[in-house]
Protein backbone atom coordinates (compact mmCIF):
# COMPACT_ATOMS: atom_id res chain seq x y z
CA UNK A 1 0.00 0.00 0.00
CA UNK A 2 1.20 3.51 -0.79
CA UNK A 3 2.58 5.44 2.18
CA UNK A 4 2.25 9.21 1.95
CA UNK A 5 5.35 11.08 3.09
CA UNK A 6 4.67 14.80 3.18
CA UNK A 7 5.80 17.19 5.89
CA UNK A 8 2.25 18.14 6.89
CA UNK A 9 1.58 14.52 7.78
CA UNK A 10 4.46 14.27 10.24
CA UNK A 11 2.30 15.79 12.95
CA UNK A 12 1.17 13.07 15.32
CA UNK A 13 -2.60 12.99 15.04
CA UNK A 14 -5.12 11.37 17.35
CA UNK A 15 -8.62 10.73 16.07
CA UNK A 16 -11.01 10.44 18.99
CA UNK A 17 -14.10 8.69 17.72
CA UNK A 18 -17.36 9.02 19.62
CA UNK A 19 -19.83 7.00 17.62
CA UNK A 20 -22.34 4.72 19.34
CA UNK A 21 -22.38 2.34 16.36
CA UNK A 22 -19.00 2.79 14.68
CA UNK A 23 -19.11 -0.54 12.88
CA UNK A 24 -22.03 0.59 10.71
CA UNK A 25 -20.78 4.13 10.04
CA UNK A 26 -19.82 4.73 6.42
CA UNK A 27 -18.07 7.97 7.41
CA UNK A 28 -15.79 6.22 9.89
CA UNK A 29 -15.08 3.48 7.37
CA UNK A 30 -14.07 6.08 4.76
CA UNK A 31 -12.05 8.14 7.27
CA UNK A 32 -10.18 5.08 8.61
CA UNK A 33 -9.32 3.93 5.10
CA UNK A 34 -8.15 7.42 4.12
CA UNK A 35 -5.92 7.74 7.19
CA UNK A 36 -4.53 4.21 6.97
CA UNK A 37 -1.83 5.38 4.52
CA UNK A 38 -0.57 7.99 7.00
CA UNK A 39 1.67 6.47 9.66
CA UNK A 40 1.26 9.28 12.20
CA UNK A 41 -2.50 8.81 12.77
CA UNK A 42 -3.83 6.94 15.81
CA UNK A 43 -7.48 6.06 16.31
CA UNK A 44 -9.12 5.78 19.74
CA UNK A 45 -12.74 5.08 20.58
CA UNK A 46 -14.30 7.07 23.41
CA UNK A 47 -16.60 4.13 24.09
CA UNK A 48 -13.60 1.83 24.63
CA UNK A 49 -12.11 4.32 27.10
CA UNK A 50 -15.29 4.24 29.17
CA UNK A 51 -15.62 0.44 28.99
CA UNK A 52 -12.79 0.44 31.51
CA UNK A 53 -12.52 2.62 34.59
CA UNK A 54 -11.42 6.04 33.31
CA UNK A 55 -8.11 7.16 34.79
CA UNK A 56 -8.03 10.90 34.04
CA UNK A 57 -4.28 11.34 34.64
CA UNK A 58 -3.42 8.35 32.46
CA UNK A 59 -5.71 9.65 29.72
CA UNK A 60 -4.15 13.13 29.89
CA UNK A 61 -0.68 11.56 29.63
CA UNK A 62 -1.87 9.55 26.62
CA UNK A 63 -2.90 12.78 24.85
CA UNK A 64 0.35 14.70 25.44
CA UNK A 65 2.48 13.33 22.55
CA UNK A 66 -0.09 14.27 19.89
CA UNK A 67 0.25 17.50 17.93
CA UNK A 68 -3.42 17.59 16.98
CA UNK A 69 -6.62 15.91 18.06
CA UNK A 70 -9.53 15.31 15.70
CA UNK A 71 -12.94 14.69 17.25
CA UNK A 72 -14.95 12.41 14.98
CA UNK A 73 -18.63 11.99 15.84
CA UNK A 74 -22.11 12.02 14.31
CA UNK A 75 -24.04 15.28 14.64
CA UNK A 76 -26.95 15.12 17.06
CA UNK A 77 -28.99 18.29 16.71
CA UNK A 78 -25.76 20.24 16.09
CA UNK A 79 -24.09 18.82 19.14
CA UNK A 80 -21.82 15.92 20.05
CA UNK A 81 -22.85 12.62 21.65
CA UNK A 82 -23.06 12.47 25.44
CA UNK A 83 -19.99 10.19 25.62
CA UNK A 84 -17.79 12.82 23.96
CA UNK A 85 -19.19 15.61 26.13
CA UNK A 86 -18.44 13.50 29.22
CA UNK A 87 -14.91 12.74 27.98
CA UNK A 88 -14.18 16.43 27.37
CA UNK A 89 -15.53 17.36 30.82
CA UNK A 90 -13.54 14.61 32.54
CA UNK A 91 -10.21 14.88 30.71
CA UNK A 92 -9.86 18.51 29.63
CA UNK A 93 -11.22 20.29 32.71
The whole-number pLDDT of residue 1 equals 54
Q: What is the model's pLDDT at position 87?
A: 94
Q: Where does residue 48 rank: exposed (0-12), middle (13-18), buried (19+ CB within 10 A)?
A: exposed
Residues of the chain predicted below pLDDT 50: none
Q: State the pLDDT at residue 65.
A: 95
pTM of the model: 0.78
pLDDT value of position 91: 95
Angle (nearest 5°) at CA 2 between 4 and 33: 85
Q: What is the pLDDT of residue 6?
A: 56
pLDDT at 76: 74
Q: Using DSSP, state whether 16 is helix, strand or coil.
A: strand
Amino acid sequence: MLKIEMSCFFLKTLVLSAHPDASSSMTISFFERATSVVESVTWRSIESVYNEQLNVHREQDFLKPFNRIVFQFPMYWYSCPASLKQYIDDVFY
